[in-house]
Homo-oligomer: A and B are copies of this chain.
Amino acid sequence: MSNNIVNLKQLSQYLGLSQTTVSRALNGFPEVSERTRKKVQEAAEKLNYRPSPSASSLATGKAKIIGHVVPVSEHRMINPHFSDFLAGASDTYARAGYDLLIRAATPEQEADIYRDFVSRNRVDGVVVHGPMVDESRIELLKSIGLPFVVHGRAGGEEHSYSWLDVDNRSAIEKLTNYLIDLGHRRIALVNGLESMNFAHRRRLGYEAALQQHGIEIDPALISSADMNEPYGYEATMEKLALDNPPTAFVYSSILSAMGGMRAANMHSLRPGKDISLATFDDQLSFLQSKNGASPPPYMTNVSSSIQEAGRRVGELLIAQIADPKAPPVCELWKTNLVVGESTGRLA
């Protein structure tokens, strides 16, 4: 139960073996005899030996760390979506013996940080968050040879790198179609920032649904911004104040949908009766009840667990680090439509 620090040298002296043998025994090399290995492992346990990460990192070039660069622009990446993603990812990392490293950076610094990461292997790989429509990080990472997995996708050659994405386009198309089927014609889209790839794709899904039914696209019914509660509230209020207000709303995030609920409330519009609200739901944990029911406002939604996404992205990345020559893995996750109480037939 000692807290004393024992290094490889001391351990090997204690055992009367060379450092080499001890190192090999501990790292599972096949050539060392089982008897020796056992002795070594017991002694390591007893003396509380722990290899130094910096030393092994220096010797192997592996850091056993996964990096996450988070932009600290006006549109912060650190939000409930991010933290749920991290919860999933960090769990995967911990199981695989990796640590999770976060570096905050302004957009201008970002490229430089990747170079920094790779040049002296501070991390073995990175997760790319929030890919834009016009994304430059992917080419950069490829060119500097830093393993990465994208949460989401960018345009361009989709199969030239690993990513995991939900089918944003079809998800929102499904949601919009459902509202149209209920008789709605004036449908608003309270979207995320459309400079981001996911939001762009959602916009396309929304437009596709309308076009399939010959409904004209009205720019006044569409907004695009950082997905938070006040934005959902304000965008909804604004649209409800139009001469010809929408009868249904599609939200890109449960956060803005909550703002939408508040706005509906403000106007004494009963969701599911006087107004229809539907949302994309990332299954954020702070909104999940123990029994795993649908999101709190019991809203009609298409959903996908962002925490599971984090877990899976972590796996993909670790696999890629283990075998960098393996072909890229691309996963497109489908969503299911869940009908709740927040939508209803147009009166």
Contacts and interface: CB of A to CB of B under 8 A. Distances in A.
Interface of A: 3, 5, 48, 50-55, 57-58, 63, 65, 70, 72, 76, 78-80, 82-84, 86-87, 90-91, 93-94, 99-105, 115-116, 119-122, 143-144, 228-231, 233-234, 255, 258-259, 262, 265, 285-290, 293, 296-297
A102 B104 contact: no
B94 A105 contact: yes
A121 B84 CA distance: 28
Nearest to A310: B78
Nearest to A59: B54
A230 B296 contact: yes
Contacts of A290: 230
A-B pairs, top 6 by smallest CB distance, nearest first, are A230-B289, A83-B83, A78-B87, A54-B57, A52-B120, A90-B104
Contacts of A230: 287-290, 293, 296
Given A54-B63, A100-B104, 12 more contacts: A52-B58, A53-B54, A55-B120, A78-B86, A94-B104, A99-B102, A99-B122, A101-B102, A102-B102, A228-B286, A233-B296, A234-B289
Nearest to A259: B296
Copies in the complex: 2
9 contacts: A3-B144, A5-B120, A53-B120, A55-B58, A83-B83, A101-B102, A229-B287, A230-B290, A258-B296
Contact of A229 (B54, B90, B286): B286
A3 B143 CA distance: 9
B58 A54 contact: yes
A122 to B, nearest CB: 5
A57 B48 CA distance: 21
Nearest to A94: B104
Contact of A84 (B65, B78, B144): B78
A57 B120 CA distance: 12
A225 to B, nearest CB: 10
A109 to B, nearest CB: 9
A254 to B, nearest CB: 10
Nearest to A92: B104
A5 B78 CA distance: 31
A104 B91 contact: yes
A91 B72 contact: yes
A50 B228 contact: no
Given A116-B50, A265-B265, A78 B99 contact: no
B296 A255 contact: no
A291 to B, nearest CB: 9
A69 to B, nearest CB: 10
Nearest to A80: B80
A326 B322 CA distance: 44
B287 A228 contact: yes
Given A80-B80, A102-B102, A287-B228, A51 B120 contact: yes
Contacts of A105: 94
B79 A103 contact: no
In this complex, the member of A86, A87, A121 whose beta carbon has the largest number of chain B beta carbons within 10 angstroms is: A87
